[in-house]
Structure formats: C-alpha cells, structure tokens
Copies of this chain bind each other. A is one copy, B any other.
Amino acid sequence: MDVALLTVGDEVLAGETTNTNAAWLGRALTARGANVRRTVVVPDEEAVIADAIRELSERYDAVLVTGGLGPTPDDVTMAGVAAGLDRELVEHEDATRYVEEAGGYENAERNDALRRLPAGARVLPNAAGVAPGAAVETARARVYVLPGVPSEMKEMFEEVADEFAGTKRLVETVHANEPESALVDRIETARERFDVSVGSYPGDGVRLRVSGTDGDAVHAAAQWLRERVER
C-alpha cells in the first residue's frame, strides 16, 4: 500500500514546529507494512490544501492529513479536504451526534465547526481531545483527516491502524565506522547478492539500512555486512 502524508500548518513550514507527526506516522505505517512514498507540508489555506488532496488522492492508496482541525478561523483542513475531493462540507449527522455525546467545546457556539465534515465521511472519535477526525473513501484512495496535536493524532491513528496492515518491509541497521566512500563496493555486493535495498546515512560513522520484504534475506545481508565493515 502506497501512502502519502499531508501536514497542514504555517508553523511547520516556518520551522517553528518540527514535523514530528510525519516521523511518528512514518514509523507507525512502515511497521505495519505500508510504504510511505511522499510527505507534503502546506500552509493553512483552503485552496492549497484542496489542490494537494486532489493530487495525492489520485496517486496514492491512502492519504493521512494532520493539522488544522478545530474551532479557529485558521482551521480550514476539513473545508480543503472536501473541496479537493469534490464533496460538499455538510452538517454531518454522525459528527453532530458525536459532538453531542462527547460534549464538544465549553463554548458551545464553536461546535458548529466540528459538525461539518465532507459528505459521506466516517467520523473518527478524538479520545484525547475535542475535534473529531474523518475518513473518506474515494474511487482510488482512502483519506484520513487527523488532528495536529500529537497526543490526539496518535490516539486517533490507533483507531484506524489496522486498515494499513500489509506486507511487512523489514529493516536491519548496521553501523560502520568507516568513511562512506570506502563502503561502496560492499554495499553494492550486498544489494546484488541478497536482493535487498541498502541505504547509507553518514553521521557519526555511517548507518547502513538494509531493507526488503524477505526477512531471511534482510537478516543474511545485514549479517554479511556486519562481518565485513569496521564497527
């Protein structure tokens, strides 16, 4: 399953917030066997969100959107998602019931915003906050709209996590205490011999990331490298 992440927020683009939501979702999805193919960060602007959703939902099997739910005027994600999927943003029956049951905001007139979801959406409860999320199925993709507050996002993701189960891609890491340029031949040999991917990431030494869908091959390749690099 090929997945895209869409992060909404001016503060992420300006670097005031580091995109830890995308990293957390990347790990959670990869662990379940989904393949995160793209992350896109856009500002809190309805038209820009709509364009991004249109494009991503036509190219990937699932799109997870985070950020821009809530009661303030810069929370325009639901409107953007609706527009991008050519759906109306409607006073949604299930969302209305959810807000009633869950209690909504202290300031009840803010609850209007929470009742509006794209037509045909499924309501996702917010166990750690107030604003509900949404899941929308299109002909090509499933689109999930989650909150931007990390604790709320994580709880809501757990609700839908099973929908991402797939062929697990396994990863092993080998640390090499050599310059990256010296490792090229061994990396190429490991790749070809075991039919795995090997990424190399310099930092404190070089981290070699062996991955593939065949666990035995990944393990054998990692072992082969471990025996041949300085550690």
Contact = CB atoms under 8 A, between A and B. Distances in A.
Interface of A: 7, 9-20, 22-28, 30, 36-44, 48, 70-74, 105-107, 110, 130, 148-149, 171, 179-184, 187-188, 191, 197-203, 209, 211
B37 A39 contact: no
Contacts of A23: 12, 15, 17-19
A105 B179 CA distance: 8
A182 B9 CA distance: 21
B38 A14 contact: no
Contacts of A10: 197, 199, 209, 211
Nearest to A20: B18
Nearest to A14: B30
**Assembly of this chain: how many copies?**
2
Contacts of A40: 38-41
B188 A17 contact: no
Contact of A71 (B19, B181, B203): B181
Contact of A14 (B26, B184, B202): B26
Given A17-B201, A149-B203, A38 B42 contact: yes
A117 B91 CA distance: 54
Given A179-B105, A200-B72, A19 B17 contact: no
Contacts of A43: 37
Contacts of A42: 37-38
Contacts of A28: 15
A12 B22 CA distance: 9
Contacts of A198: 74
Contacts of A184: 71-73, 107, 110
Contacts of A203: 149
Given A15-B22, A74-B200, A107-B182, 19 more contacts: A10-B199, A11-B199, A11-B209, A12-B39, A15-B36, A16-B209, A18-B20, A22-B41, A37-B42, A37-B48, A39-B40, A40-B40, A70-B181, A71-B180, A71-B184, A107-B181, A107-B184, A110-B182, A149-B203
Given A27-B16, A184-B110, A199 B44 contact: yes
